Amino acid sequence: MNKKDLEKLRKELLRQKEEIIKKTQETMGSEAEFDKDDLPDEIDHASFEYHQSLSLRLRDREQYLLDKIEKALKRMDEGIYGKCESCGEDIDVKRLMARPVATLCIKCKEEQEKREKILEG
Give the model confidence (pLDDT) of 68-119 as tens digits. Answer: 999 999 999 999 999 999 999 999 999 999 999 999 999 999 999 999 999 9
User: Residue 40: what pLDDT?
Assistant: 65
C-alpha distance from residue 108 to each of 7, 10, 57, 104, 116 (Å): 25, 23, 29, 6, 12
The pTM (predicted TM-score) of the whole model is 0.74
Q: 90: which strand partners?
A: 83
C-alpha to C-alpha distance for 69 and 101, rounded to whole angstroms = 6
For CATH 1.20.120.910, the residue range(s) in the chain are 1-81
Domain 1-81: which topology?
Four Helix Bundle (Hemerythrin (Met), subunit A) (1.20.120)
Mean of pLDDT values over 59-68: 89
The one-character DSSP state at 83 is B
User: Residue 102: what pLDDT?
Assistant: 98
Greater confidence (36 vs 73) lies with 73
User: Residue 68: what pLDDT?
Assistant: 97
